[in-house]
Structure 1
Amino acid sequence: MQKHISSLQNPLVKQLVQLIEKSRERKKTGLFVIEGQREIQLAIKGGYVLKTVLICRDIFSGDTENFVTMNSEVIELSLEVYQKLAYRGTTEGIIAIAESRVNQLKALQFITENPLILVAEAPEKPGNIGALLRTADAAGVDAVILANPKTDLYNPNIIRSSVGGIFTKRIATGSTSEILHYLKEKNIAIYCAALQSSKPYHTIDLTQACAIIVGTEATGLSEEWLQQSTQNIVIPMQGEIDSMNVSVAAGILIFEAKRQRGFV
Protein backbone atom coordinates (compact mmCIF):
# COMPACT_ATOMS: atom_id res chain seq x y z
CA MET A 1 0.00 0.00 0.00
CA GLN A 2 1.38 3.39 -1.01
CA LYS A 3 2.37 5.69 1.83
CA HIS A 4 0.28 8.84 2.30
CA ILE A 5 1.23 11.99 4.20
CA SER A 6 -1.42 14.44 5.33
CA SER A 7 0.26 16.07 8.36
CA LEU A 8 2.46 19.15 8.13
CA GLN A 9 4.27 17.83 11.21
CA ASN A 10 5.45 14.67 9.44
CA PRO A 11 9.26 14.31 9.77
CA LEU A 12 9.70 13.93 6.00
CA VAL A 13 7.78 17.14 5.39
CA LYS A 14 10.01 18.93 7.90
CA GLN A 15 13.10 17.53 6.15
CA LEU A 16 11.80 18.69 2.78
CA VAL A 17 11.35 22.21 4.10
CA GLN A 18 14.94 22.15 5.37
CA LEU A 19 16.25 20.87 2.03
CA ILE A 20 14.37 23.60 0.20
CA GLU A 21 15.44 26.43 2.49
CA LYS A 22 18.88 25.48 3.85
CA SER A 23 22.07 25.05 1.84
CA ARG A 24 23.66 23.49 4.91
CA GLU A 25 21.04 20.74 4.97
CA ARG A 26 21.54 20.01 1.27
CA LYS A 27 25.30 19.71 1.73
CA LYS A 28 25.01 17.62 4.90
CA THR A 29 22.60 15.08 3.43
CA GLY A 30 23.73 15.10 -0.21
CA LEU A 31 20.09 15.55 -1.18
CA PHE A 32 18.08 18.28 -2.90
CA VAL A 33 14.51 18.92 -4.03
CA ILE A 34 13.21 19.09 -7.61
CA GLU A 35 9.78 20.50 -8.36
CA GLY A 36 7.88 19.97 -11.60
CA GLN A 37 7.37 17.28 -14.24
CA ARG A 38 9.77 18.69 -16.85
CA GLU A 39 12.54 19.28 -14.33
CA ILE A 40 12.21 15.77 -12.86
CA GLN A 41 12.25 14.14 -16.28
CA LEU A 42 15.36 16.12 -17.27
CA ALA A 43 17.04 15.01 -14.03
CA ILE A 44 16.26 11.37 -14.83
CA LYS A 45 17.55 11.82 -18.38
CA GLY A 46 20.70 13.37 -16.91
CA GLY A 47 21.31 10.29 -14.79
CA TYR A 48 20.32 11.66 -11.40
CA VAL A 49 19.02 9.22 -8.79
CA LEU A 50 15.65 10.05 -7.27
CA LYS A 51 15.34 8.83 -3.71
CA THR A 52 11.71 9.81 -3.19
CA VAL A 53 8.93 10.99 -5.50
CA LEU A 54 6.02 12.79 -3.87
CA ILE A 55 2.74 13.30 -5.69
CA CYS A 56 -0.50 15.08 -4.94
CA ARG A 57 -3.37 13.16 -6.50
CA ASP A 58 -5.57 16.26 -6.33
CA ILE A 59 -3.29 17.73 -9.01
CA PHE A 60 -1.18 14.94 -10.53
CA SER A 61 -3.06 12.47 -12.72
CA GLY A 62 -0.22 10.95 -14.72
CA ASP A 63 1.69 7.68 -14.51
CA THR A 64 4.39 7.75 -11.84
CA GLU A 65 6.50 5.23 -13.79
CA ASN A 66 7.75 8.10 -15.97
CA PHE A 67 9.03 9.99 -12.92
CA VAL A 68 10.98 7.42 -10.91
CA THR A 69 14.41 5.81 -10.99
CA MET A 70 15.44 2.45 -9.57
CA ASN A 71 14.36 2.03 -5.93
CA SER A 72 12.52 5.37 -5.80
CA GLU A 73 9.90 5.47 -3.08
CA VAL A 74 6.58 7.00 -4.19
CA ILE A 75 4.57 8.85 -1.54
CA GLU A 76 1.23 10.59 -1.88
CA LEU A 77 0.73 14.01 -0.30
CA SER A 78 -2.46 15.74 0.71
CA LEU A 79 -3.21 18.99 -1.08
CA GLU A 80 -2.44 20.97 2.08
CA VAL A 81 1.00 19.39 2.46
CA TYR A 82 1.80 19.78 -1.24
CA GLN A 83 0.88 23.45 -1.18
CA LYS A 84 3.14 23.92 1.84
CA LEU A 85 6.11 22.48 -0.09
CA ALA A 86 5.50 23.65 -3.66
CA TYR A 87 6.92 27.00 -4.71
CA ARG A 88 4.90 27.29 -7.89
CA GLY A 89 1.27 26.53 -8.48
CA THR A 90 1.89 25.17 -11.97
CA THR A 91 4.16 22.19 -11.30
CA GLU A 92 1.52 19.53 -11.87
CA GLY A 93 1.55 18.08 -8.38
CA ILE A 94 4.93 16.36 -8.25
CA ILE A 95 8.11 16.86 -6.22
CA ALA A 96 11.21 14.68 -5.93
CA ILE A 97 14.11 14.26 -3.54
CA ALA A 98 17.28 13.58 -5.53
CA GLU A 99 20.87 12.69 -4.74
CA SER A 100 23.29 15.52 -5.55
CA ARG A 101 26.61 15.22 -7.33
CA VAL A 102 30.04 16.47 -6.31
CA ASN A 103 30.62 18.07 -9.75
CA GLN A 104 34.40 17.76 -9.55
CA LEU A 105 36.51 19.53 -12.13
CA LYS A 106 38.72 16.49 -12.69
CA ALA A 107 35.67 14.45 -13.70
CA LEU A 108 34.97 16.62 -16.76
CA GLN A 109 35.45 14.63 -19.95
CA PHE A 110 34.82 15.77 -23.52
CA ILE A 111 33.95 13.81 -26.63
CA THR A 112 35.27 16.51 -28.96
CA GLU A 113 38.78 17.83 -29.50
CA ASN A 114 37.63 21.45 -29.50
CA PRO A 115 35.20 21.79 -26.59
CA LEU A 116 33.41 25.06 -25.94
CA ILE A 117 33.24 25.83 -22.23
CA LEU A 118 31.45 28.60 -20.37
CA VAL A 119 33.08 29.71 -17.12
CA ALA A 120 31.36 32.08 -14.70
CA GLU A 121 33.42 33.58 -11.89
CA ALA A 122 31.86 34.23 -8.47
CA PRO A 123 28.23 33.98 -9.56
CA GLU A 124 25.98 34.80 -6.62
CA LYS A 125 22.39 35.38 -7.69
CA PRO A 126 20.55 32.08 -8.28
CA GLY A 127 18.55 33.70 -11.07
CA ASN A 128 21.72 34.64 -12.95
CA ILE A 129 23.23 31.17 -12.49
CA GLY A 130 20.00 29.58 -13.69
CA ALA A 131 19.90 31.88 -16.71
CA LEU A 132 23.52 31.02 -17.56
CA LEU A 133 22.71 27.30 -17.41
CA ARG A 134 19.64 27.80 -19.56
CA THR A 135 21.68 29.76 -22.11
CA ALA A 136 24.41 27.11 -22.08
CA ASP A 137 21.82 24.42 -22.78
CA ALA A 138 20.34 26.43 -25.66
CA ALA A 139 23.77 26.86 -27.24
CA GLY A 140 24.84 23.28 -26.62
CA VAL A 141 28.12 24.14 -24.90
CA ASP A 142 30.23 21.20 -23.79
CA ALA A 143 30.47 22.22 -20.13
CA VAL A 144 29.73 24.96 -17.62
CA ILE A 145 32.25 25.67 -14.87
CA LEU A 146 31.46 27.86 -11.87
CA ALA A 147 34.49 29.49 -10.27
CA ASN A 148 34.15 30.36 -6.58
CA PRO A 149 30.33 30.19 -6.63
CA LYS A 150 28.60 32.09 -3.86
CA THR A 151 25.60 29.76 -3.66
CA ASP A 152 25.29 25.98 -3.87
CA LEU A 153 24.38 24.49 -7.22
CA TYR A 154 21.25 22.72 -5.96
CA ASN A 155 19.54 25.84 -4.64
CA PRO A 156 15.86 25.46 -5.70
CA ASN A 157 15.97 28.91 -7.30
CA ILE A 158 18.80 27.80 -9.59
CA ILE A 159 16.90 24.67 -10.62
CA ARG A 160 13.76 26.73 -11.17
CA SER A 161 15.37 29.56 -13.16
CA SER A 162 17.40 27.14 -15.28
CA VAL A 163 14.14 25.34 -16.16
CA GLY A 164 15.99 22.10 -15.51
CA GLY A 165 19.04 23.17 -17.54
CA ILE A 166 21.18 22.26 -14.55
CA PHE A 167 20.56 18.60 -15.42
CA THR A 168 21.36 18.82 -19.15
CA LYS A 169 24.99 20.03 -19.14
CA ARG A 170 28.30 18.82 -17.74
CA ILE A 171 28.86 21.09 -14.75
CA ALA A 172 31.84 21.53 -12.46
CA THR A 173 32.87 23.90 -9.71
CA GLY A 174 36.25 24.93 -8.38
CA SER A 175 38.47 27.82 -7.38
CA THR A 176 39.81 30.20 -10.00
CA SER A 177 43.33 28.79 -9.63
CA GLU A 178 42.08 25.19 -9.95
CA ILE A 179 40.12 26.02 -13.09
CA LEU A 180 42.99 27.94 -14.66
CA HIS A 181 45.29 24.98 -14.04
CA TYR A 182 42.72 22.61 -15.56
CA LEU A 183 42.23 24.72 -18.70
CA LYS A 184 45.95 25.16 -19.28
CA GLU A 185 46.60 21.46 -18.70
CA LYS A 186 43.98 20.66 -21.36
CA ASN A 187 45.37 23.30 -23.78
CA ILE A 188 42.08 25.18 -23.77
CA ALA A 189 42.32 28.85 -24.80
CA ILE A 190 41.00 31.37 -22.28
CA TYR A 191 38.92 34.28 -23.55
CA CYS A 192 37.94 36.71 -20.81
CA ALA A 193 35.03 39.10 -21.27
CA ALA A 194 36.68 42.33 -20.10
CA LEU A 195 37.17 45.93 -21.22
CA GLN A 196 40.93 46.05 -20.66
CA SER A 197 43.26 45.24 -23.61
CA SER A 198 40.37 43.61 -25.42
CA LYS A 199 39.43 42.86 -29.01
CA PRO A 200 35.88 42.71 -30.43
CA TYR A 201 34.54 39.22 -29.80
CA HIS A 202 33.61 38.55 -33.43
CA THR A 203 37.20 39.09 -34.62
CA ILE A 204 38.55 36.21 -32.52
CA ASP A 205 38.83 32.62 -33.77
CA LEU A 206 36.56 30.68 -31.43
CA THR A 207 36.64 27.41 -33.36
CA GLN A 208 39.50 25.96 -31.31
CA ALA A 209 39.14 24.43 -27.86
CA CYS A 210 38.26 27.45 -25.75
CA ALA A 211 36.65 28.71 -22.59
CA ILE A 212 34.67 31.94 -22.48
CA ILE A 213 34.99 33.55 -19.06
CA VAL A 214 32.39 35.95 -17.67
CA GLY A 215 32.36 37.75 -14.33
CA THR A 216 29.78 39.57 -12.26
CA GLU A 217 28.12 42.72 -13.53
CA ALA A 218 29.28 44.60 -10.42
CA THR A 219 32.99 43.76 -10.34
CA GLY A 220 33.83 41.92 -13.55
CA LEU A 221 36.62 39.35 -13.57
CA SER A 222 39.38 39.08 -10.98
CA GLU A 223 42.96 40.03 -11.82
CA GLU A 224 43.95 36.37 -11.72
CA TRP A 225 41.81 35.65 -14.76
CA LEU A 226 42.94 38.76 -16.63
CA GLN A 227 46.62 37.90 -16.12
CA GLN A 228 46.15 34.39 -17.52
CA SER A 229 43.85 35.31 -20.40
CA THR A 230 44.77 34.18 -23.90
CA GLN A 231 42.93 37.28 -25.12
CA ASN A 232 40.36 39.57 -23.56
CA ILE A 233 37.24 40.05 -25.66
CA VAL A 234 34.56 42.72 -25.60
CA ILE A 235 31.06 43.19 -26.98
CA PRO A 236 30.97 46.66 -28.63
CA MET A 237 28.05 48.70 -27.29
CA GLN A 238 26.37 51.78 -28.72
CA GLY A 239 24.39 52.95 -25.68
CA GLU A 240 25.28 54.94 -22.58
CA ILE A 241 25.60 51.84 -20.38
CA ASP A 242 28.87 49.90 -20.58
CA SER A 243 27.64 46.55 -19.26
CA MET A 244 24.78 44.09 -19.68
CA ASN A 245 23.29 41.17 -17.80
CA VAL A 246 25.86 38.39 -17.50
CA SER A 247 23.64 35.72 -19.08
CA VAL A 248 22.88 38.01 -22.05
CA ALA A 249 26.59 38.70 -22.56
CA ALA A 250 27.42 35.01 -22.24
CA GLY A 251 24.72 34.17 -24.79
CA ILE A 252 26.13 36.59 -27.35
CA LEU A 253 29.65 35.24 -26.93
CA ILE A 254 28.88 31.52 -26.99
CA PHE A 255 26.47 31.81 -29.90
CA GLU A 256 29.19 33.61 -31.86
CA ALA A 257 31.46 30.64 -31.14
CA LYS A 258 28.72 28.30 -32.34
CA ARG A 259 28.22 30.41 -35.48
CA GLN A 260 31.92 30.16 -36.27
CA ARG A 261 31.72 26.41 -35.76
CA GLY A 262 28.89 26.16 -38.29
CA PHE A 263 26.12 25.19 -35.89
CA VAL A 264 23.95 28.31 -36.23
Structure 2
Amino acid sequence: MGPWKEEFPDKDPADPRFDPELLEEGDKRNVLDRYRYWSVEAIREDLDKRGWSDLEIACENWTHDFNIGSMVRSANAFGARGVHIIGPHKWNRKGSLMTEVYERVYQDASIEDLVSYAKNSPFRPHLIAVDNVEGSVPIETFSFPPSCILIFGSEATGLSKEALSAAEATVYIEQRGSVRSINAAAAAAIAMYAYSVCVEKEA
Protein backbone atom coordinates (compact mmCIF):
# COMPACT_ATOMS: atom_id res chain seq x y z
CA MET A 1 0.00 0.00 0.00
CA GLY A 2 1.14 3.53 -0.68
CA PRO A 3 1.52 6.39 1.79
CA TRP A 4 -1.44 6.82 4.16
CA LYS A 5 -2.65 10.02 2.49
CA GLU A 6 -2.70 8.31 -0.91
CA GLU A 7 -4.63 5.27 0.29
CA PHE A 8 -6.75 7.04 2.92
CA PRO A 9 -7.38 10.75 2.27
CA ASP A 10 -8.57 11.44 5.80
CA LYS A 11 -6.35 12.67 8.62
CA ASP A 12 -3.38 10.54 9.71
CA PRO A 13 -4.38 8.30 12.65
CA ALA A 14 -2.98 8.87 16.11
CA ASP A 15 -2.88 5.14 16.88
CA PRO A 16 0.52 4.47 18.53
CA ARG A 17 0.76 1.12 16.76
CA PHE A 18 1.35 2.85 13.44
CA ASP A 19 4.91 3.41 12.22
CA PRO A 20 5.40 7.06 11.14
CA GLU A 21 7.86 6.06 8.42
CA LEU A 22 5.42 3.55 6.91
CA LEU A 23 2.62 6.11 7.02
CA GLU A 24 4.82 8.52 5.13
CA GLU A 25 6.40 6.19 2.58
CA GLY A 26 3.87 3.36 2.26
CA ASP A 27 3.80 -0.24 3.47
CA LYS A 28 5.02 -2.83 0.96
CA ARG A 29 5.46 -5.63 3.50
CA ASN A 30 3.85 -9.05 3.16
CA VAL A 31 1.56 -8.71 6.19
CA LEU A 32 -2.17 -9.14 6.77
CA ASP A 33 -4.24 -6.06 5.99
CA ARG A 34 -5.02 -5.58 9.67
CA TYR A 35 -1.30 -5.01 10.27
CA ARG A 36 -0.77 -2.45 7.51
CA TYR A 37 1.32 0.50 8.73
CA TRP A 38 1.89 -1.14 12.12
CA SER A 39 5.41 -1.16 13.54
CA VAL A 40 7.25 -4.47 13.93
CA GLU A 41 7.02 -4.16 17.71
CA ALA A 42 3.26 -3.59 17.58
CA ILE A 43 2.74 -6.64 15.36
CA ARG A 44 4.85 -8.82 17.66
CA GLU A 45 2.91 -7.63 20.69
CA ASP A 46 -0.42 -8.34 19.01
CA LEU A 47 0.67 -11.82 17.91
CA ASP A 48 1.75 -12.59 21.48
CA LYS A 49 -1.54 -11.26 22.82
CA ARG A 50 -3.64 -13.26 20.34
CA GLY A 51 -1.66 -16.37 21.23
CA TRP A 52 0.66 -18.59 19.22
CA SER A 53 -0.12 -22.26 18.67
CA ASP A 54 1.67 -24.88 20.77
CA LEU A 55 3.64 -25.97 17.71
CA GLU A 56 7.37 -25.45 17.17
CA ILE A 57 9.47 -26.41 14.16
CA ALA A 58 13.07 -27.65 13.94
CA CYS A 59 15.29 -28.34 10.94
CA GLU A 60 18.50 -30.31 11.22
CA ASN A 61 21.46 -29.51 8.96
CA TRP A 62 19.53 -27.81 6.19
CA THR A 63 21.95 -26.17 3.77
CA HIS A 64 19.66 -24.34 1.35
CA ASP A 65 18.92 -20.79 2.43
CA PHE A 66 15.67 -20.55 0.52
CA ASN A 67 14.30 -23.72 2.15
CA ILE A 68 15.04 -22.35 5.61
CA GLY A 69 13.45 -19.01 4.77
CA SER A 70 10.38 -20.71 3.31
CA MET A 71 10.03 -22.86 6.41
CA VAL A 72 10.19 -19.81 8.69
CA ARG A 73 7.55 -18.12 6.53
CA SER A 74 5.24 -21.16 6.76
CA ALA A 75 5.83 -21.43 10.51
CA ASN A 76 4.65 -17.86 10.91
CA ALA A 77 1.60 -18.49 8.71
CA PHE A 78 0.57 -21.46 10.88
CA GLY A 79 1.22 -19.56 14.11
CA ALA A 80 4.14 -21.73 15.25
CA ARG A 81 5.53 -20.59 18.58
CA GLY A 82 9.17 -20.96 17.53
CA VAL A 83 11.62 -22.21 14.92
CA HIS A 84 14.86 -24.06 15.71
CA ILE A 85 17.71 -24.15 13.20
CA ILE A 86 20.00 -27.00 14.25
CA GLY A 87 23.60 -26.91 13.10
CA PRO A 88 26.18 -24.27 12.23
CA HIS A 89 24.58 -23.09 9.00
CA LYS A 90 23.94 -19.36 8.68
CA TRP A 91 20.98 -18.58 6.48
CA ASN A 92 19.92 -15.82 4.15
CA ARG A 93 16.65 -14.38 5.42
CA LYS A 94 15.38 -13.22 2.02
CA GLY A 95 13.20 -16.31 1.53
CA SER A 96 11.30 -15.69 4.76
CA LEU A 97 9.91 -12.35 3.50
CA MET A 98 10.82 -10.74 6.83
CA THR A 99 8.65 -13.12 8.88
CA GLU A 100 11.73 -13.86 11.00
CA VAL A 101 11.31 -10.45 12.66
CA TYR A 102 8.00 -11.62 14.16
CA GLU A 103 8.93 -15.26 14.80
CA ARG A 104 11.13 -16.59 17.61
CA VAL A 105 14.07 -18.20 15.79
CA TYR A 106 16.59 -20.23 17.79
CA GLN A 107 20.01 -21.40 16.62
CA ASP A 108 20.78 -24.74 18.28
CA ALA A 109 24.21 -26.30 17.92
CA SER A 110 22.98 -29.89 18.14
CA ILE A 111 20.04 -32.22 18.70
CA GLU A 112 21.17 -32.43 22.33
CA ASP A 113 20.55 -28.70 22.66
CA LEU A 114 17.03 -29.13 21.27
CA VAL A 115 16.32 -31.99 23.68
CA SER A 116 17.55 -29.85 26.57
CA TYR A 117 15.34 -26.97 25.42
CA ALA A 118 12.29 -29.25 25.30
CA LYS A 119 12.96 -30.66 28.77
CA ASN A 120 13.32 -27.20 30.30
CA SER A 121 10.52 -25.49 28.41
CA PRO A 122 7.40 -24.65 30.44
CA PHE A 123 5.36 -25.93 27.48
CA ARG A 124 6.88 -29.45 27.72
CA PRO A 125 6.80 -30.05 23.95
CA HIS A 126 6.93 -33.59 22.55
CA LEU A 127 9.57 -34.22 19.87
CA ILE A 128 8.02 -35.63 16.69
CA ALA A 129 10.27 -36.55 13.75
CA VAL A 130 9.10 -36.23 10.15
CA ASP A 131 11.00 -38.67 7.94
CA ASN A 132 10.27 -41.52 5.55
CA VAL A 133 12.05 -44.29 7.46
CA GLU A 134 11.21 -47.79 8.60
CA GLY A 135 8.81 -47.74 11.52
CA SER A 136 7.33 -44.33 10.74
CA VAL A 137 3.55 -43.94 10.58
CA PRO A 138 1.41 -42.05 8.03
CA ILE A 139 1.09 -38.43 9.07
CA GLU A 140 -2.65 -38.37 8.32
CA THR A 141 -3.31 -41.13 10.88
CA PHE A 142 -1.14 -39.70 13.64
CA SER A 143 -2.67 -38.02 16.68
CA PHE A 144 -0.41 -35.05 17.35
CA PRO A 145 0.06 -33.94 20.95
CA PRO A 146 -0.98 -30.26 21.19
CA SER A 147 2.46 -29.15 22.36
CA CYS A 148 5.14 -30.52 20.08
CA ILE A 149 8.24 -29.79 18.03
CA LEU A 150 8.26 -31.20 14.52
CA ILE A 151 11.81 -32.09 13.43
CA PHE A 152 12.81 -32.18 9.76
CA GLY A 153 16.04 -33.45 8.22
CA SER A 154 17.78 -32.48 5.01
CA GLU A 155 16.55 -33.72 1.64
CA ALA A 156 19.84 -35.52 1.00
CA THR A 157 20.32 -37.47 4.22
CA GLY A 158 17.14 -37.12 6.26
CA LEU A 159 17.33 -36.95 10.03
CA SER A 160 20.34 -38.12 12.00
CA LYS A 161 20.22 -41.22 14.19
CA GLU A 162 20.43 -38.91 17.21
CA ALA A 163 17.34 -36.98 16.10
CA LEU A 164 15.34 -40.13 15.39
CA SER A 165 16.32 -41.58 18.76
CA ALA A 166 15.32 -38.41 20.57
CA ALA A 167 11.88 -38.29 18.94
CA GLU A 168 8.90 -39.89 20.65
CA ALA A 169 7.38 -40.79 17.28
CA THR A 170 8.21 -40.56 13.59
CA VAL A 171 5.68 -39.77 10.88
CA TYR A 172 5.95 -39.72 7.10
CA ILE A 173 4.13 -38.02 4.23
CA GLU A 174 2.76 -40.53 1.76
CA GLN A 175 3.93 -40.12 -1.85
CA ARG A 176 2.41 -41.67 -4.97
CA GLY A 177 4.83 -40.64 -7.70
CA SER A 178 8.34 -41.69 -8.66
CA VAL A 179 10.35 -39.00 -6.87
CA ARG A 180 12.19 -40.15 -3.76
CA SER A 181 11.58 -37.10 -1.59
CA ILE A 182 9.50 -33.95 -1.31
CA ASN A 183 11.18 -30.56 -1.10
CA ALA A 184 12.06 -30.01 2.56
CA ALA A 185 10.25 -26.69 2.91
CA ALA A 186 7.17 -28.10 1.18
CA ALA A 187 7.20 -31.13 3.49
CA ALA A 188 7.39 -28.83 6.50
CA ALA A 189 4.35 -26.87 5.31
CA ILE A 190 2.38 -30.09 4.74
CA ALA A 191 3.25 -31.33 8.23
CA MET A 192 2.28 -28.02 9.84
CA TYR A 193 -1.09 -28.20 8.12
CA ALA A 194 -1.59 -31.81 9.22
CA TYR A 195 -0.80 -30.81 12.80
CA SER A 196 -3.23 -27.88 12.66
CA VAL A 197 -6.08 -30.01 11.30
CA CYS A 198 -5.48 -32.75 13.88
CA VAL A 199 -5.30 -30.42 16.88
CA GLU A 200 -8.38 -28.46 15.81
CA LYS A 201 -10.39 -31.68 15.39
CA GLU A 202 -9.39 -32.93 18.83
CA ALA A 203 -9.87 -29.60 20.60
User: TM over 0.5: same fold?
Assistant: yes
CA distance in 1, matches of 2:194, 2:65: 25
Between the aligned residues of both structures, percent identity stands at: 24
TM-score under structure 2 normalisation? Answer: 0.70
CA distance in 2, matches of 1:170, 1:257: 19
CA distance in 2, matches of 1:251, 1:42: 28
Q: How does 1:112-261 map to 2 (within 5 A)?
A: 115-152=54-91, 155=92, 158=93, 160-175=94-109, 176-186=111-121, 187-194=124-131, 195-261=133-199
How many residue pairs match? The answer is: 163
TM-score under structure 1 normalisation? Answer: 0.55
Paired amino acid for 2:75 = A
Paired amino acid for 1:125 = H
Per the alignment, residue 38 of structure 1 pairs with: 29
Indicate the structure with greater strand content: 1
Which string of whole-angstrom CA distances, capped at 9 and with x for unpartnered residues, describes residues 14-50 of structure 1?
xxxxxxxxxxxxxxxxxxxxxx9527x8994147xxx
Unaligned runs of 5+ in 1: 1-35, 48-108
Which string of whole-angstrom CA distances, capped at 9 and with x for unpartnered residues, describes residues 70-116 of structure 1?
xxxxxxxxxxxxxxxxxxxxxxxxxxxxxxxxxxxxxxx9x979710
- Structure showing greater Rg: 1
Unaligned runs of 5+ in 2: 1-26, 31-35, 43-47
RMSD, matched Cα: 3.0
- Are the aligned partners of 2:128 and 2:167 in contact in 1 as well (CA < 8 Å)? yes
* Deviation >4 Å, runs of 4+: 41-44, 111-114
CA distance in 2, matches of 1:198, 1:42: 45
